[in-house]
Amino acid sequence: MTTPHWTDEQVFNQLNSGEKWSGPTITYTFPDSREQIHFEQGEGVNFTPLTAEQREYAKLALATWNDLIAPNIVPGSIGASNMEFGNTYMVEEPGYAHAYYPPMGSIWFSYMYNELQHPVLGNRGFTTYIHEIGHALGLDHMGDYNGDDDDGPSSYQDSGVLSIMSYYGPEDQRGKGDVMWGDWFSPDGVIHGSQTPMLNDIMVIQAIYGAANTRADNTVYGFGSTVEGDTAVVYDFTQNVYPILTFYDAGGIDTLNLSGWGTDSDIDLRPGHYSSANGMTNNLAIARGVLIENLTTGAGNDTLYGNQANNILDGGAGHDSAYFSGVFANYTLVYDLDGRTYTVHDTTGADGTDTLINIEVAGFENFGGNLNDLTPGIHRYFNTNNGTHFFTANNDEASNINALEGLIYEGIGFMRDVMPNAESVAVHGFHNDVTGTHFYTTSNDEAMNIIETNQLTYEGIAFQAHAAKTEATTEVYRFYNSSTNSHFYTANAAEMENVKVELAGTYVFEGVAFYTEAA
């Protein structure tokens, strides 16, 4: 049966047991005897204390919750703490692991299961540690089930992708088709589990306890991580090599650095959204209300989504794409010749002002394409070596030309139609192999004649312009330089008149080449 999609309110009502700790601190201990721990179901009969190895992973699991909530989770006094940990063995359920809600708060692991005795970051044992601490803090399961009493998932949200309190999802390989799913297998065929509380866990636990002011300064996550403290290993992807987690960050200018991966990634910086990376799907999420401003991806062909902050998006190697939420007309795109970067400004403010580095494609709600084709300006240079002018619509070519000796950048010579419409006309582009200049024409007949006579090298459609004059356009005039056998273009009427008069012996006026918006 298809499960329903729940609202956040329904998720909260399910996960919130109604029990919680009060006060500015929540304490924990590792008792050494059954007299020092609370129990109700006979667990104390077979009590053994947690080993040193278990205690280290229990502290790490506690730290993942401590990162999220306003009260501090700190060591307490034996016999007077909120949460206590112990090993036991029970024939009856719950025989794997279980925990009690506040005000009891004891957490039990079966010493019969190797993964609970020897947990590893990302294996079922460690996920269980986080899950049981969630109960001890007051969280319920994501459905009305417990142990073997299991009637199936409650909703589409009843998934480990969204909540570590769920019995369903990719780590359990249960509920596929009914709950949110992800591929959490590593290349060696091993399935991994989440290493932090997940998106809905964070939403609910912070609604209960308030949000922590964790990592409020500038932070790098992933490769080159600057996270310090108990959870540093979780966010360092040289140590946590198969991360499945949700990022919570309280402020600063933050960076998600995935540059160490060569697989294709689909990364979404929007709060409350999931990303797919490192050969997995839906394995990285950003908590609601959290802004990670900057993103660097690796050598794969990556897709990058920014958020409402001013983002720096670096695609690294590969063929990478950045996507924006609004219609193309709401954005201005500017290319920096020296830095070889694009600035994309959302005039509505929804997507902020983003810097794109090593990204080849941009997509908008109604339009998109190669970034080289999305900036409106045609670059103009003067070549002091041979007295010609060089024009190009290609930003990469412009950056290469900009570095050559004797080429002086004169700014944007004229504009082009970025988003073709009914008034647009194709402008054919040719390369003059002798002078190193470009020739442009909207005349199909002229273009065909040049191709047939093999005068210039045909480069295809260079850009789009207007074929006719409108209120919104201006003329682009064309001159032929007889001394250099090259052409000159200008959209400046005063410059056109000056060339016609002052340089009449050198430049032959050929009229209007096409029409375009003024630069």
Cα–Cα nearest to 463, from 379, 387, 360: 379
Dist. CA 10–CA 5, nearest whole Å: 10
Cα–Cα nearest to 47, from 58, 39, 59, 55: 39
Provide mean pLDDT across the span 465-475.
91
Q: 403 CB contacts (<8 Å, ≥6 apart)?
A: none
Quote the pLDDT of residue 467: 87
pTM: 0.93
Run of H or E including 439: strand 437-441
- pLDDT band at 204; cut points 50, 70, 90: very high
- pLDDT band at 94; cut points 50, 70, 90: low
Cα–Cα nearest to 381, from 416, 444, 337: 337
Give the CA distances from residue 273 to residues 33, 246, 282, 291, in Å, rounded to whole numbers and listed in that order.
45, 10, 9, 11
Other Cβ atoms within 10 Å of 206 Cβ, number: 19
Dist. CA 84–CA 107, nearest whole Å: 6
* Letter string b/e over residues 498-510, b meaning 16 or more CB atoms within 10 A of that residue's CB: ebeeeeeeebeee
Dist. CA 442–CA 254, nearest whole Å: 48
Quote the pLDDT of residue 93: 52
The structure tokens 């179901």 sit at: 41
Kindly tell me if the per-residue pLDDT of 152 is higher than 90. Answer: yes
- pLDDT band at 435; cut points 50, 70, 90: very high
Cα–Cα nearest to 490, from 504, 508, 507, 477: 477
**Residue range 392-409, pLDDT digits in tens:** 999 999 999 998 999 999
**Residue range 55-93, pLDDT digits in tens:** 999 999 999 999 999 999 999 999 899 999 999 987 565
Run of H or E including 445: helix 444-453
Quote the pLDDT of residue 95: 83
Catalytic pick among 19, 84, 132, 171: 132
Cα–Cα nearest to 486, from 447, 433, 449: 433
Look up residue 406 and give its DSSP letter.
T
Provide mean pLDDT across the span 421-448.
94
Quote the pLDDT of residue 149: 84
Cα–Cα nearest to 298, from 277, 280, 283: 277
Provide mean pLDDT across the span 224-248.
98
Contact 81, 35 (CB under 8 A): no
Other Cβ atoms within 10 Å of 24 Cβ, number: 8
Provide mean pLDDT across the span 296-302.
97
Dist. CA 195–CA 188, nearest whole Å: 19
Dist. CA 37–CA 78, nearest whole Å: 8
Query: If DSSP codes are grouped into helix, strand and coil, which group holds residue 507?
Result: strand
Run of H or E including 223: none
Q: Is residue 397 among the annotated active site residues?
A: no
Dist. CA 307–CA 132, nearest whole Å: 34
Give the CA distances from residue 258 to residues 159, 218, 350, 353, in Å, rounded to whole numbers and listed in that order.
25, 17, 25, 22
∠ CA 22-27-29, rounded to 5°:
150
Other Cβ atoms within 10 Å of 511 Cβ, number: 8
Kindly report the backbone phi and psi dihedral angles of residue 136, in degrees, each rounded to the nearest multiple of 5, phi listed first: -65, -20
Run of H or E including 168: none
- CB burial class (10 A; 0-12, 13-18, 19+) of residue 89? middle
